[in-house]
Amino acid sequence: MPCYFFLYYRREIINAFYRDSFYLARLRTLPGFGAYTAAAVAAIAFGQRAVVVDGNVERVVTRLFAVAEALPGAKPQVRALTDSITPHARAGDFAQAMMDLGATICTPRNPKCLLCPLAEPCAARRAGTPEAFPVKAKKRARPVRYGTFFWLEADGAVLLVRRPDKGLLGGMRALPTGPWSDSPPGLADAPVAADWTLRNAAIRHVFTHFELNGVLATATLARHIGAVEGEWWPIERLDEAGLPRLFAKAVEAMESEA
């Protein structure tokens, strides 16, 4: 990052402290300053009372008070509880102590409760279940979508297309596919009319928000079709096509079927 950005931030941070009493609100207006960063700067750099909550502090507080609600829904409650124990004096020292406590003593696994200065009032320790906190929300099952991967071969080459610029894997080379939907895969969206064969190979790929289960359909033409949309890529050089992992799996499935 160029040094003038640091100079800009320094000036704005100083202004946030000296110009008016709304230092925290002013810090939040700086690019990249979220609630945690703004509060940490206010407390640690300027000694102002601010509620500093990071992942370590969340863990300490949820165990200290045995917060039953799962994260992230419990974040407002955790913040309010942290606010209730944050002192007016030496708020920066308190914030750093809480973060260090979570990082070194009140760890996610095998917390060192015997060494913890908050062991006596800690509700989770008294219950014998410190590792049960913070409670995590159950992960939702990913929805499943289906698709067909079309392998169209001619003269030692396979047809590749470009994915639409907008959407998953935008602008990248790929095998033609039909839409990914809730419906079982089929041949309705084949790129050309041909004698298509559905293979037994299954192609599974997990995206962030859904799981894709695909099948491979293959066809061979006697020669290239010039009018078809896409490019004919030599099969022996497919490793140079820069295919995303999803479509590399389809190529591997084709090779295993050969």
Which neighbouring-strand residues pair with 221? Answer: 154
The C-alpha atoms of residue 99 and residue 59 are separated, in whole angstroms, by 10
The C-alpha atoms of residue 59 and residue 108 are separated, in whole angstroms, by 8
Note the pTM of the prediction, 2 decimals. 0.56
pLDDT tens digits for 58-71? Answer: 999 999 999 999 99
CB 76 within 8 A of CB 35: no
pLDDT category, 39, cuts 50, 70, 90?
A: very high
- Per-residue pLDDT at 83 exceeds 90: yes
Least confident window among 137-141, 167-171, 234-238: 137-141
- Per-residue pLDDT at 48 exceeds 90: no
Burial zone of 243 (CB within 10 Å; 0-12 exposed, 13-18 middle, 19+ buried)? buried
pLDDT at residue 216, rounded to an integer: 94
Sequence spans of domains, the chain: 3-132, 144-257
The C-alpha atoms of residue 243 and residue 61 are separated, in whole angstroms, by 46
- Per-residue pLDDT at 204 exceeds 90: yes
The C-alpha atoms of residue 10 and residue 243 are separated, in whole angstroms, by 45
- Per-residue pLDDT at 76 exceeds 90: yes
Q: In the predicted model, what is the mean pLDDT of residues 196-222?
A: 92
Q: 3.90.79.10, 2.30.30.180, 2.40.110.10, 3.40.50.720: which CATH number matches 144-257?
A: 3.90.79.10
Which CATH topology does 3-132 take?
A: Endonuclease Iii, domain 2 (1.10.1670)
